[in-house]
Amino acid sequence: MAKATLDERVAARLARLSPAEQRVARFFQEHREEVMVNSAAALARRTHTSDATVVRTTQALGYAGLDALRQGLAQELRARHTLPRRLTQTVEQIGHDIETAFDRTLRIQTEALASLRQAIKLPDFRDAVARLRQASRVVIFGLGPSNAVARYFSVQLNRFGYACLCLEKTGLLFADELHGLRAGDLLVVLAYDRVYAELDVLLSEARRRQLPVILVTDTLKDQLAARVDLVLPVPRGKADFLSLHTATLALLEMLLVGLATQDAPRILDSLERLDTLRVAMSANAPLSDLRLGRPKVG
């Protein structure tokens, strides 16, 4: 069985730590490179605690000591979320039996969906639906495979009549997308595993512009809670397994249904207008295109 990652250990134990130990634990998460090379005394100065608190926090997180923490971080860095690594670990667990692949994946998906009932609190769900209704525009952020999920949510919201923007660029081009943020925007951020550059800059820009942020995440809740307005924790499956997105999709569709219960007249009006446009398109499309589902070109 794979050992728990630093983020998983912090998530499981943070509430039991003292305020000083919580500060050290969060520093471990946010400054891994410094933890790899600095002594307990140096880390104590950086966290405004004592070297004893640094060592105590390390042990409270389940490590034998600072050296064991460094070794664990080094292993995480070597194995961190490369697709070949995840695929290899998945195949090692399942073997080459197709029935086992079917059963194991279905069980993980079912467990992830069942965990939403405990992970998502009803007041937070109500808050998320209310924020979506009140926003002038919903800006959705997700990179990699999460971008496909973000675009799906954007399409559905647009059909419901909500103004949407999907952020999907990386690097310097991401700055152009950030430049388009405006007052009244609500950010829905799909982020997992680690705080990469685009996510860090996005949250900083949202704070500077005083834009509300809903964070959908698995292990980043404790690390980013202070930088967002609402966290919706969503499991993506096993840490050493291929990332699975069923629970994220389920949550987003729960939000869509929640909107439908609270904003039915607006949504019905939007869907009726969409149907009118579809009928107009169908009336002008050749029968062969309609059968094949092809739009008319030209």
Domains 6-79 and 111-262 share a fold: no
User: CATH for 111-262, among 3.40.50.720, 3.40.50.2300, 1.10.10.10, 3.40.50.10490?
Assistant: 3.40.50.10490
Question: pLDDT: is 13 or 86 the higher one?
Answer: 13
Q: In CATH, what class is 6-79?
A: mainly alpha
Segment 115-133 mean pLDDT: 93
Question: pLDDT: is 298 or 186 the higher one?
Answer: 186
How much is the pLDDT for 78? 61
Q: For 227-286, how does the pLDDT look when each residue is reduced to its tens digit (9 = 90+)?
A: 999 999 987 655 455 567 889 999 999 999 999 999 999 999 999 999 998 888 877 766
Give the mean pLDDT of the chain: 86
How much is the pLDDT for 94? 67
How much is the pLDDT for 293? 52
Q: How confident is the model at residue 298 (pLDDT cuts 50, 70, 90)?
A: very low
In this model, does residue 21 exceed pLDDT 80? yes
Whole-model pTM? Answer: 0.68
Which DSSP string corresponds to the chain?
Answer: -PPPPHHHHHHHHGGGS-HHHHHHHHHHHH-HHHHHH--HHHHHHHHTS-HHHHHHHHHHTT-SSHHHHHHHHHHHHHHTT-HHHHHHHHHHHHTT-HHHHHHHHHHHHHHHHHHHHHHS-HHHHHHHHHHHHH-SEEEEE--THHHHHHHHHHHHHHHTT--EEEE---THHHHHHHHT--TTEEEEEE--SS--HHHHHHHHHHHHHT--EEEEESS-HHHHGGGSSEEEE---S-TTS----HHHHHHHHHHHHHHHHHSHHHHHHHHHHHHHHHHHHHHTS-HHHHHHTPPP--
In this model, does residue 1 exceed pLDDT 50? no
How much is the pLDDT for 81? 53
Segment 67-74 mean pLDDT: 88
In this model, does residue 91 exceed pLDDT 90? no
Q: How confident is the model at residue 177 (pLDDT cuts 50, 70, 90)?
A: very high
- Domains of the chain, residue spans: 6-79, 111-262
Percentage of residues in the chain having pLDDT higher than 90: 53
